[in-house]
Structure 1
Amino acid sequence: MRYPLTALLAVAVCAVMAGASSFAAITDWLHDLDERAQERLGFTAGVPVGSTVWRILTRLDDTLLGTVLAGWLRTRAPVEVTRPRRYRTVIAIDGKTLRGARTGGGRQVHLLSALDTTTGIVLAQVTVDAKSNEIPAFAPLLDAVEQVLGTLAGVLFIADALHTQTGHADEVTARRAHLLVQVKANQPTLFKQLKQLPWAQIPVGDRTRDRGHGRRETRTVKAVTVATPGGIAFPHAQQAVRITRTRIVAGKTSRETAYLTASLPAGQALPRDLQTWIRRHWHIENKIHHVRDVTFREDLHQARTGTGPAVIATLRNTAIGWHRTTGATNIARATRHANRRSHDLITAVTSSYPTTQ
């Protein structure tokens, strides 16, 4: 028997939004629905067995699926009626290894993702070649993000030190976007240049203090304009940034210093902006990767066939993004709520919405 692909995708999205954490759980969720709900999803002549659902989903183009679902989510994200004067789309980039999943050759699956830190929507995700690392996957990820947004002009990408690559800086600038990256010992010349800047003479640009869980933390930001080319050994860099984090836990004080470069000039990126944007990079770890592990038990899922590992991760991204756009802060609670109200969930997922982005 043949089943509509749109129906299979709809049930996969709905099931994961309701907490399904595997392909088998997606099938179980479908089979547990009443006949009316199954018909509303597009199954008018019976429902597929688990092997059919698994076989089709593990053969999908995961990058294309991510593009389609990200675009679909953006049409459902609420429009901000009033945006701050200095509003900018900030996208955090980070990778995650699926510890339980393996490729056909036995290697672990590693995914590189791009998160819109304002909406909570993962705009794109690409699979890192098993014989390589995240660096070659950066440009394809930009391609996927650009396909969703239409243009990258003015967008700020934030990434960790692995992506402090001259090729990345050139690639981002060519697309009229901007890059904010941390600098560590993997770029020794640049790291030394940043560390030797006259920071003692540069005034504090922004300082924040946080308290909680028995910890007090102070984050101090200094930023200085650097002249390129010739200023520092990184193309398109407009500012050098230093962040000092001082933590007091149980009476013990620790201090950590981080250096970054930004391709935005001072007039477009004040120290308080930089402070906010840098902290947003943690959103992809705390609000996406951690939730996939804890709520959806991703690291225990031993997907191995075809594009299955990336497809199920994309469905989890979509579920998290959906619940974020509807105002949920506790994704586990939101999935339980959705599971108890399957007809409401089906209505929300299958109904037509105007484009809002």
Structure 2
Amino acid sequence: MRDRSEPHLLAALAAVPDPRSRRGVRHRFAAILGVGVCAVLAGARTFAAIAEWTQDLPVGVRVRLGLRRRAPCESTIRRVLQAVDADALDGAASAWLAARSAPVEATGPAAAPQGRMISIDGKSARGARGPDGRPAHLLAAFDQASGVVLGQTSVDGKTDEITAFAPLLDRIDLTGAIVTADALHTQHRHADYLHVRGAHYVLTVKRNQPSLHHQLASLPWAQIPAVDITQDKGHGRVC
């Protein structure tokens, strides 16, 4: 049973701007987004499948989701979902998920309690392509403990991840959090940004930062005792 104190999905989706003119509107914008989210979670992958899933819902469930007793048709669902501001929708959904996963003492939708581990990672989305036909590439920040995506943004491949780093994290409370990222984000301005935001960071150092890499390689690592050793096997290698 859902805790009444937890944020409701429809309330979060109501923050997404409605791009439609008022004339001829029959269904609430947040309600169409809500059934779209639920249908996708239930396995729908096309506009037709979302419409069919919505049509099959009992009338009482449709009403609970904010719809009229009559379900919206496929063309209505298609027009609404194609016109939605993707960044605004992603922000609303991420804030809702973060609020549900945050401890009771957290105060913000994406509040970061002391020691929260936040990973930054860029991935090409499987099965999704942009207008140019290339696979969609996303930069995401997610909570390592819960797996909840706290925010994500579309980027133009690996090189654009660097410029998207700060804007992605601007909407997340980083106070006391530990942010991890791969070597691409081992940048002076990223470290300065995280320090100003009150976060700690663990960044991989490779040869894209030659001076820093050389300085670290010159340290007397053999004389430093190991505090903890983790051994795992992946991709046929033991590390």
TM-score by length of 1: 0.52
The answer to which structure, 1 or 2, has the higher relative contact order (CA under 8 A, 6+ apart) is 1
Are 2:92 and 1:95 equivalent residues in the alignment?
A: no
- The DSSP-based 3-state class of the residue aligned with 1:185 is coil
Query: In the TM superposition, what is the alpha-carbon distance from 1:161 to its structure 2 partner?
Result: 0.8
Are 2:174 and 1:152 equivalent residues in the alignment?
A: yes
**Contact 1:108/1:130, CA 8 A, preserved across alignment:** no
CA distance in 1, matches of 2:122, 2:48: 26
Are 2:204 and 1:172 equivalent residues in the alignment?
A: no
Q: Which moved more, 1:168-177 or 1:70-79?
A: 70-79
**Contact 1:66/1:123, CA 8 A, preserved across alignment:** no
Structure 1 residues 127-276: aligned runs within 5 Å = 127-129=154-156, 132-145=159-172, 151-209=173-231, 217=233
Name which of 71, 78, 82 aligns with 2:95. 71
Query: In the TM superposition, what is the alpha-carbon distance from 1:63 to its structure 2 partner?
Result: 2.2
- The DSSP-based 3-state class of the residue aligned with 1:13 is helix
- Give per-residue Cα distances to partners, 1:153-185, cap 9 Å, x unaligned: 211110011111111111111111122111112
CA shift in 2, pair 1:92/1:34, >3 Å: same
Q: Report the residue type matching 1:178 in the other structure.
A: H
Aligned residues: 207
Q: Which moved more, 1:185-194 or 1:96-105?
A: 96-105
Match of 2:60 in 1: 36
Gaps of at least 5 residues in structure 1 are 146-150, 211-216, 218-246, 257-357
CA distance in 2, matches of 1:111, 1:47: 33
CA distance in 1, matches of 2:230, 2:201: 23
Name which of 24, 35, 45 aligns with 2:48. 24
Q: Which moved more, 1:172-181 or 1:21-30?
A: 21-30
- Give per-residue Cα distances to partners, 1:278-318, cap 9 Å, x unaligned: xxxxxxxxxxxxxxxxxxxxxxxxxxxxxxxxxxxxxxxxx
- The DSSP-based 3-state class of the residue aligned with 2:63 is helix
CA shift in 2, pair 1:25/1:196, >3 Å: farther
Query: In the TM superposition, what is the alpha-carbon distance from 1:67 to its structure 2 partner?
Result: 2.1
Percent pairwise identity: 46
Aligned-residue CA RMSD (Å): 2.6
- The DSSP-based 3-state class of the residue aligned with 1:30 is helix
TM-score by length of 2: 0.76
- Give per-residue Cα distances to partners, 1:29-75, cap 9 Å, x unaligned: 11221222222222215222223212212222222222222222234
CA shift in 2, pair 1:68/1:165, >3 Å: same
CA distance in 1, matches of 2:215, 2:57: 62
